[in-house]
Structure 1
Amino acid sequence: MALLNETEKVDFLIDLLDQHMQKLPDEDILRNYLESIHGFLKTNDSILQKAAISNSVLFMDNLAQSTSETDYLISYFEKYMAELETKLKEEPENDFLKGKIKGIKHAVVIAKMIKKGNEYQGEGISVIID
């Protein structure tokens, strides 16, 4: 590949983003992020450029926040599970504690699934734990 000038680099990136977006579902958060960058590169309108930058910054802020919250949740569940397992050693026949431990193990798995979703796609899965 020959060395590209600034205009050619922008045109190349626009085409590359077009190709990447075609591979993603229409209502995908990563696609929305790529569309923001794509829009920024394609337009000469300063208002649209500012909106594109704002959208991409918001995406990254949300991703960083959800990742740290998910890490906290995983840590909390694992710590709580360790406490319950210690209590279970004292009361090995306590079915209520066994059920709680099983539920917390499922919660850890779900939280880790959310984290993996965030790492790979910028979005996780929505889960309500009651």
Structure 2
Amino acid sequence: MSGVKAEVGTVLLVFCNETQIAWLRILKRGFRHVFIAQRVVGGWVTIDPLSTRMEVEFHPMDPETNLASWFTLCGHRVVSAQVRGASEVPIGLPLAPLTCVSVAKRVLGIRVARILTPWQLYRHLTERGCPEYRPVQGGRDHVPA
């Protein structure tokens, strides 16, 4: 997926290592948190489910900005995925605690109960062909506008 521009509607899942919650350090290194960035007209919307609040922000950016590459240069793993249409998502009430993974699953329309950690979500997506982003070295596309 190197150098591919994100189209409007593209969803990036950004897997992070950082955590200030001690018990989350038992999770696999590099996969202690996940947040979502969705391409929209004029920029990106990020959805970052934190333990104390839900941060939803609009980031106006030039369409040429390669946000996925920038996240990888910050040390994060980035996977691109598609949101399933409403008709593709099974009907039913998913019972799960509100976590970064449950929010990401809900955004994507994933209803797999055994996916509980960021690592499990990453494996689920990549095993189903969702591409992991690899940064392209050099060029202005690394820096958000």
TM-score over 0.5 (shorter chain): no
Larger Rg: 1
Q: TM-score range by the shorter chain?
A: under 0.3
TM-score (norm 2): 0.17
Greater relative contact order structure (CA < 8 Å, 6+ sep): 2
Q: Going by fraction, where is helix more abundant, 1 or 2?
A: 1
- TM-score normalised by structure 1 residue count: 0.18
